Structure formats: C-alpha cells, structure tokens
Amino acid sequence: MIKLNIKNETSRLRAVVLGTAESNGPVPKVEDCYDPKSIEHILAGTYPTEKDMSKEMETVIKVFEKYDVTVYRPEVIKNCNQLFARDIAFVIDDILIEANILPHREEEVEGIDYIWSQVAEDKRIILPEACHVEGGDVMPWNDYIFIGTYSGADYAELITARTNIDAVISIQELFPNKIVKSFELRKSNTNPKENALHLDCCFNPLGKGKAIIHKNGFLIEKEYEWLVNFFGRENVFEITKEEMYQMCSNVFSISDDVIISEQSFTRLNKWLREQGFIVEEVPYAEIGKQEGLLRCTTMPLIRD
C-alpha cells in the first residue's frame, strides 16, 4: 500500500507521479485542442514531438534520482496525451482525489489505476459529477487549500475553465478543518497571454516563505492582493505577461530549498539563487508548448 502524505507544495518530496510523452499520438487537430497555446504551435508547425518531450522528461527523472525520490509513471495508453499527471488527480493530506476532467480526457485517468488501487479504499475519493476540477488548480498549503476557479456565466463555453465552484465547495466539505481560499482566474480560449489555464500558471508558493505570481492571471485584484499580503510583497517574485506565457510560475519544489526550473528562465532562476534556493535547471520548453510545465507534469504522492 502507498501511504500518502501531502500537506503543502514544498516539504521534502519522497514519491511522485511523472507523466509520460510515450505514444503521445499524432499532432492534434486545432478543433481537438484544449488550450490556446497548443493551437498556436499547431498552426505554426512547431508542435512538440514525442521524442523531444521524452528526452526532456528524462532530465527530470535524473533530478529525482539525485534526490532519492521514488518516481511512478502512468501506464502508457496508445495515442493518448499523458503528459500532465497533475490534472487527473491530486493528494491532500493522506487522501487521493480523482479529478473530473474534460470528458475527452477521461482515459488518462486509467493510466494511474494501478496507483489508485494501492491506496487504502477509505483514502480514495471521486468527487460528484457536477464538480469539475483539475489538479493544476489545487494547492494544499498547510492550513489552507488554494484553489483556482472560474464562475463566469460563460463557463460552459470556455474550454480553458477547468475548476468550478461546485468543486471548491466539495473540497471545503471534505476538509472542514482547512481554510479553502478560491481565486477567480482570467480565461481565454484564443489568447494564451490572457489565459491562466490553472492557478499554477499564474502563482506558485515556494519554500522559505517565497512565491511567484502574475497579477493579470487573477480576475479580481483584491484576491491577488490577498496572496501578495499573505506572503509579503518582499517575498513575491512578480512575473511579466511574457514570462507567464513561458510558464515561469510552473516550477516544481523538491524541498523547501530545492526547485526544478526551466533552463531559459534566467531572470527567475537568478532571483531564486539570490534567495538561497538550489535551482536544478532542465530543458522543458517543448513540453511548455502545450501550456503546462514542471508542476503540471508531476503529481506528488508523499512529502515528509
């Protein structure tokens, strides 16, 4: 059995699920895409190849090996995009919650059935069908659970709106002793620079009381201000619209002082080192073309 434990985003990582680029399928049709950045790369002829993305993931596996982290991979489903392990399930405390994701992505969940079955039955939860949620929007942060959401009347038309208020309420009911704080995110089906696909596309808490944030990712300024005040303005690294587009907030913490980051994030990585972090730089820009990066491809199971 796997004994899950996730209290926050930065405690020492012991076990993680890392997605896979194997048998990723052909380049999708534009009408089958579920984010504006993928569409951009399909139209430009720069959509990433399976080989390049697999190579990038190997570099992350090496980092995990260096820090003695157990890595699980999804079972490969033929011609299925299984890169983003974060979307399909998430752990809070010792409970594994299966996400209700976009209907045509349901088969992705089958890739981690073997992990699901190693978790005690009373520690596995499938939310009611009305609750739409993806793990990129859910961040356990000690006494808090931060959740990105969208409650606009056009929710149904926005394929980029992934987590609804029903899910926020459901998660609050599951964890009555935690403070669930939701944040309305800016959504666009067509402009990747105006689209915060998930909360981790515009915000990420780090160790040492630091955080990365992009103001324009938040629809309601006072919710953004709340986060800045929560961490303290001097502890927050503000990223630009271009940096958000490159997925600068989507780094991944192995511990309070070790962060995996994309090698091209020069401004961010310099700041992280100045704050005393060890930065493990990896090439991940090909995966980034699908509007997801390091946090999106990883789903932590156990942290100390």
Strand 70-72 to strand 144-149: parallel, antiparallel, or no bridges (unpaired)?
Answer: unpaired
pLDDT (tens digit per residue) in 128-144:
888 999 999 999 999 99
39-78 as b/e: b if 16+ CB within 10 A: bbbbeeeebbeeeebeebbeebeebbeeeebeebbbeebe
What integer is the mean pLDDT of 88-104?
86
Closest CA to 112 of 126, 93, 92: 126
Residues 84 and 109: beta-carbon distance below 8 Å: no
Q: How far apart are CA 288 and CA 246, in angstroms?
A: 7
Least confident of 18-32, 151-165, 243-257, 284-298: 151-165
Strand 252-253 to strand 258-262: parallel, antiparallel, or no bridges (unpaired)?
Answer: antiparallel
Residues 94 and 121: beta-carbon distance below 8 Å: no
Architecture (CATH level 2) of domain 13-303: 5-stranded Propeller (3.75)
pLDDT (tens digit per residue) in 22-67:
988 788 788 777 677 888 888 888 888 999 999 999 999 999 999 9
Closest CA to 292 of 210, 196, 148: 196
pLDDT (tens digit per residue) in 62-91:
999 999 999 999 999 998 889 999 989 999
Full-model pTM = 0.93
Mean pLDDT taken over the chain: 92
Count of all residues that appear for the chain in the document: 304
- Return the beta strands (E) in 130-178 as ranges: 138-141, 144-149
Residue 109 pLDDT level (bands cut at 50, 70, 90): confident
Closest CA to 144 of 66, 235, 211: 211
How far are the Cα atoms of 7, 21, 70 from residue 141, in angstroms, in the given order?
A: 6, 29, 22
Q: How far apart are CA 160 and CA 266, in angstroms?
A: 28
Which residues are registered as beta bridge partners of 211? 205, 236
